[in-house]
Structure 1
Amino acid sequence: MTENKIVFTVDEKDEGLKLRYYLQRVQRLSGRLIKGAALSGRIEINNKRVKLNHIVKSGESISLNLVKEESQNVEPEKMDIEVAYEDDDLIVVNKRPGIVVHPTRSYPSGTLANGLMYYFKEKGEDCIVRLVSRLDMDTSGLIIVGKNQFAHMALARDMKSEEFEKSYIAVIHGKMKENEGTIDLPIYRQEGEDIRRIIDERGQKSITHYKVIKDFKNDQLLKLTLETGRTHQIRVHLSYLGHPLYGDTLYGKEDDSMYINRQALHAYRLKFPHPRGNKILELETAIPEDILKLIEKIS
């Protein structure tokens, strides 16, 4: 494999399949990726361009060229980017609190995507920002970005697998009844409500696993691992149970500004399969300074 290509060698058991089905069923590529690559002549077998109805043979070398012309309406802006991991296929960034991930009507600039576009441009990499995971503006921590269509597709697909783990630390008001457990409560967005979510039987299945990491006088530090990835999932679940995050002005009930100026939530750990399937990546970041100061105040 080179940095700009991914190469598959046809196994004997897969001989006789049409190329389209081989790429979809055996290599688990998306139909959109396969169609686009075929139309632009980026699929070759033994260094010759082929059509998708080609019948594959054992031992054939199928290469998919990942280079394609792309553009994105995101202006490059110089920004301090803390890189936790990077290679030719992906980058993992440790996002600071107070940073929006992608431009919106309310935040057209100054986002992580603007900073990444500048970062890629400075490195001479012709990439667009393909977000695999997202975080709320005031949640800090690790975010995965694919550098090409194949990597983004593979990472987004594997987010649903058991090998993919996203873990957070959070400081909550009060104490959970049990030291560890699973919160299985459906999350729903009411009609006409853009931001706030509620627990409601009409909602999507939402599962959060938690474990108490440290007890304070009246509060706790939790580790939380998401099985599903709904908007505001951790914040909604904990608030519903009567233990909102410190600093959560949307789902909390108290003014915590004397302790912290944002929700005390940090995406500190990721574990996931690399898009090319040759390793499992495990990444961790330290607890941010503002959460450490909060812990010191409530201990």
Structure 2
Amino acid sequence: MVFNISKDDEGKRLDNFLKFEKGFSTRLIKKITKNDCVFINGKIAWADDILKEGDIVEILLKENKEQDIMPEDIPIDIVYEDEDILVVNKPPFMVVHPTKSHQSGTLANGVMNYFNKTKQNCIVRLVNRLDRDTSGLVIIAKSQFAHQAMAKMFEKNKVKKEYIAIVKGKMEGKGTVDLPIDRPSLDSVKRCVIEGGQRAITHYEVIGSSEDVSIVKLILETGRTHQIRVHLSHIGHPILGDELYGEKSNIIQRQALHAFRLTFNKLRGEDLVVCTANIPQDMLEILKKYNLDFQEDTYE
């Protein structure tokens, strides 16, 4: 990574510049300076070096290739890629990362295979995750820096997270659900709206409805586990096919929830990145059944 120091950054310590201007964690700054991986104008730099206008700061990010994820020849739908991140459209019924019960066939196995085939010296660092039965956009960071920087953007709500859901019943209008979410007990998989839980904010707008189902766009202001599923169920419109927060459906074999769009700034530069994942076929079939239309260009 290369940074050209402007007049605005003159006089700053190197470590403060990297932390507050470029999103490096304190831990990573210590690691790269200790291992002689930072250079100013071609010379090894120290954390307390003072920057001057015109300085060129170069950082060598060395990846640790040790990761127990076997590459598998699984097709992945790449939506966007740059030097720092990979964004893929995860299909429904796919686990994002190996677990005890899902040792193979995961998104991470496919991504590792892609990194190997394209000779990218990366391990799989998931920035966000989706439930097995939720489809849509997942971001994978290619370095420790990218992972920390993207995680910070999510934490500060600088990533716009948009979803599409098909819910039970006729739902109308738009609004915001601002209700806390937590587990009712430590051993519970299910979450619920509960006093004293973590604050959770979901904005919604109905973009089509029939007497039986409605299609809803949602924007997450927070990112709690199962947030959309809990909030929609709480207001009386559980997601179609969501057996945990609603009931089984005979027209879809999963919850009809899709992570449709992510909008954020590139980590290097200020270019805006807009990633969109097409609505999967099983959800499109439901919309067709109920004569509901979804046009991506009208979804703003």
Task: Verify same fold: TM over 0.5.
Answer: yes
Greater CA deviation, 221-230 or 274-283?
274-283
Q: Distance in 2 between matches of 1:132 and 1:146?
A: 6
Is residue 2:230 matched to residue 1:236?
A: yes
Contact 1:169 1:223 in 2 (8 A): yes
Q: Which runs of 5+ in 1 are unaligned?
A: 1-5
Q: Distance in 1 between matches of 2:162 and 2:20?
A: 31
Q: Over residues 268-294 of structure 1, what are the superposed CA-to-partner deviations in whole Å (9 max), with x where a residue is unaligned?
A: 111111111331101212211101112
* Residue pairs, 1:32-71, within 5 angstroms: 32-71=27-66
Compute the displacement of 1:16 (Å): 3.1
Q: Which residue of 2 aligns with 1:191?
A: 185
Q: Distance in 2 between matches of 1:269 and 1:94?
A: 10
Q: Distance in 1 between matches of 2:185 and 2:40?
A: 51
Q: Distance in 1 between matches of 2:156 and 2:265?
A: 9
Contact 2:157 2:222 in 1 (8 A): no
Compute the displacement of 1:162 (Å): 4.9
Pick from 92, 100, 114 the counterpart of residue 105 of structure 1: 100
* Residue pairs, 1:279-294, within 5 angstroms: 279-294=271-286
Q: Over residues 13-35 of structure 1, what are the superposed CA-to-partner deviations in whole Å (9 max), with x where a residue is unaligned?
A: 43333322222233332112211
Pick from 200, 215, 224 the counterpart of residue 221 of structure 1: 215
Q: Which residue of 2 aligns with 1:3?
A: none
Is residue 2:101 matched to residue 1:92?
A: no
Q: Over residues 157-206 of structure 1, what are the superposed CA-to-partner deviations in whole Å (9 max), with x where a residue is unaligned?
A: 11234541111110001133x41111101000133334210110121000
Pick from 266, 270, 280 the counterpart of residue 262 of structure 2: 270
Q: Which runs of 4+ in 1 moved over 6 A?
A: none
Contact 1:169 1:268 in 2 (8 A): yes
Compute the displacement of 1:57 (Å): 2.2
TM-score normalised by length of structure 1: 0.92
Q: Distance in 2 between matches of 1:21 and 1:88?
A: 24
Q: Distance in 1 between matches of 2:91 and 2:138?
A: 11
Q: Distance in 2 between matches of 1:13 and 1:140?
A: 43
Secondary structure of 1:268's counterpart equals strand
Is residue 2:118 matched to residue 1:123?
A: yes
Contact 2:94 2:107 in 1 (8 A): yes
Counterpart AA for 1:280: L
Q: Which residue of 1 aligns with 2:251?
A: 259
Q: Distance in 2 between matches of 1:70 and 1:36?
A: 16
Is residue 2:12 matched to residue 1:20?
A: no
Q: Distance in 1 between matches of 2:17 and 2:206?
A: 46
Q: Distance in 2 between matches of 1:279 and 1:158?
A: 15
Contact 1:208 1:234 in 2 (8 A): yes
- Identical amino acids, percent of aligned pairs: 47
Greater CA deviation, 27-36 or 38-47?
27-36
Q: Distance in 2 between matches of 1:14 and 1:97?
A: 46
TM-score normalised by length of structure 2: 0.92
Q: Which residue of 2 aligns with 1:212?
A: 206
- In structure 2, the CA distance between the partners of 1:82 and 1:13, relative to structure 1 (3 Å rule), is closer
Contact 2:153 2:159 in 1 (8 A): yes
Pick from 75, 79, 84 the counterpart of residue 74 of structure 2: 79
Q: Distance in 1 between matches of 2:218 and 2:283?
A: 16
Contact 1:155 1:274 in 2 (8 A): no
- Structure 1 vs Structure 2 CA RMSD: 1.6
Q: Which runs of 5+ in 2 are unaligned?
A: 292-300
Q: Over residues 243-291 of structure 1, what are the superposed CA-to-partner deviations in whole Å (9 max), with x where a residue is unaligned?
A: 1000001110x331x2100000011111111111331101212211101
Q: Distance in 2 between matches of 1:151 and 1:14?
A: 22
Contact 2:174 2:204 in 1 (8 A): yes
Q: Distance in 1 between matches of 2:222 and 2:248?
A: 29
Q: Distance in 1 between matches of 2:63 and 2:275?
A: 29
